[in-house]
Amino acid sequence: MANVILDNLVKHYGKTPVLHGIDLEVSDGEFVVLVGPSGCGKSTTLRMIAGLEDITSGQVSIGDRVVNNLEPKDRNIAMVFQNYAIYPHMTVRKNIGFGLRTSKKSKAEKLQRINEVAAMLDMTELLDRKPGQLSGGQRQRVAIGRAMVRDPDVFLFDEPLSNLDAQLRTQMRLEIKKLHQRVGRTIIFVTHDQVEAMTMADRIVIMKDGHIQQIGSPFEVFHKPANQFVARFIGAPPMNMLEGRYQQGKLHLQDDIVLDLGGRVFSAAAASKLAEHPQVVIGMRPDDLRVTSEPGHFKGEVALIEPLGSETLVYANVGAKELIAKAPGRVPPTAGDQVSLAIESELIHLFDTRDGVLIE
Ligand code: ADP
């Protein structure tokens, strides 16, 4: 069992900086997901933890031991990649056992351990098969089995589900989460898919351009995004954003729309920021913006609807802007309808236009 601490981790490729001082503490047994757009530095961070990339500066500790100068094999970690290399000519038993090739255990102990891992992954029946006789999900489980068999302190996953079709990804997401609950090991998981991050993580680390933007539980990053980038990256469809000006409890938006915040009380810090710089970007989640038969805050014309079954996404033209809202699934509006949209003022996010940081 082990925690993982990254202390001011910096990476340059030649003269190009790609990580600018990453600080992160992953607790023992925690499931942490690194997420962000392609090229933001997720894999590089993971590979530095694994020992597969040199560290330009900073420190990586695993289980209170600085591992900067330790070989990957001495870090007691196991890594599962997107292109899991399982050997087609070997049985599942041999493929899983491959993880033990350098172990000093006896043959009987190794077989015992392979059986334990196969049972944990529900693969006992498949031990004599070869990869060609397995489904994509089963092959992925073999790769995970090979990582598990050495009983590492830390599992590192690098986009392991990216090559699977949508249905299988959803299934594997659940399997990995259940496995974590059962085995209780520390997991650091890299993905560019925010849904994967939200559904699996205890905590999410959102990265952009080699910087951490926010670290928090799925609940925190969704409901209290630290800045506009996080607000747009987490949640689908993305948060609606409008520019406006705050004045005495009201937001003055485009097309002479005035949004009364209904006596919403701001913290002292937020109030002083708004007084100093009243220009804001307001963010409204499509989930929070409801199509209503009451007067509402915005009037618009429905351009398009997307029925999702239990609810319907409504794309409405409000002046020059398009806003995305939600309507109940059973009685949705149709294209061309005039609709009102409403939101509780407490659910409106205000961002500073200067740096995109959340005001409140
Ligand atoms: P992510 O995993 O978030 O997609 P990476 O960690 O793979 O991002 O890459 C971060 C940045 O580092 C990217 O801009 C990428 O082009 C650059 N990079 C990655 N590997 C190398 C390398 N071996 N040489 C030079 N630049 C690299």
Tell me, rounded to whole angstroms, the distance of Cα 270 from its chain centroid: 28
Whether residue 29 is predicted with pLDDT greater than 70 in this model: the reply is yes
Residue 163: its pLDDT value, please? 81
pLDDT attached to residue 76:
93
Q: Is 171 helix (H, G, I), strand (E, B) or coil?
A: helix
Atom number, ligand 1, closest to the C-alpha of residue 45: 6
The HSE-up count of residue 64 (CA atoms within 13 Å, CB side) is: 2
What's the distance, Cα to Cα, between the start and end of the chain in Å?
38
Lowest mean pLDDT among 48-52, 82-86, 179-183, 289-293: 82-86
pLDDT (mean) for 188-204? 97
* Greatest C-alpha distance within the chain: 78
- Rounded Cα gap, residues 182 and 148, in angstroms: 12
**Best CA proximity match to 347, nearest among 283, 281, 258, 266:** 283
Instruction: List the residue whose alpha carbon is closest to atom 7 of ligand 1.
Output: 43
pLDDT in tens, 56-99: 999 999 998 999 999 999 999 999 887 767 899 999 999 999 98
In this structure, the residues whose C-beta lies within 6 A of any atom of ligand 1 are 13, 18, 36, 38-44
pLDDT, mean of residues 172-181:
91
Tell which CATH architecture fits domain 240-352: Beta Barrel (2.40)
| Mean pLDDT on 164-188 | 91
Q: Tell me the CA–centroid distance for residue 195 and ligand 1, in Å.
A: 23
Q: Ligand 1 mean position to 46 CA, how many Å?
A: 11
What is the reported pLDDT for 262? 87
The predicted pLDDT at position 300 comes to 95
* pLDDT(161) > 80: yes
Kindly report whether the global pTM for this prediction surpasses the value 0.85.
Answer: yes
Start-end ranges of CATH 2.40.50.140 in the chain?
Answer: 240-352
Ligand 1 centroid, distance to 210 Cα (angstroms): 10
Confidence (pLDDT) at 65: 95
- Taking residues 212-232, report their average pLDDT: 98
pLDDT for 3 equals 97
How far, in Å, CA of 286 to CA of 306, rounded?
A: 13
Question: Which pLDDT does position 136 carry in this prediction?
Answer: 84
Mean pLDDT of 182-188: 94
The length of the chain is 360
Q: Which fold has domain 4-233?
A: Rossmann fold (3.40.50)
pLDDT of residue 352: 98
Mean pLDDT of the chain: 94
Mean pLDDT lowest among 7-21, 163-177, 267-281: 163-177
What is the pLDDT at residue 1?
64
For the residues 295-305, what does the mean pLDDT come to? 94
Percent of the chain with pLDDT over 90: 82
**Residue 49, pLDDT score:** 98
Kindly report, as residue ranges, where domains of CATH 3.40.50.300 are found in the chain.
4-233
How would you classify the pairing of strands 65-66 and 57-62? antiparallel
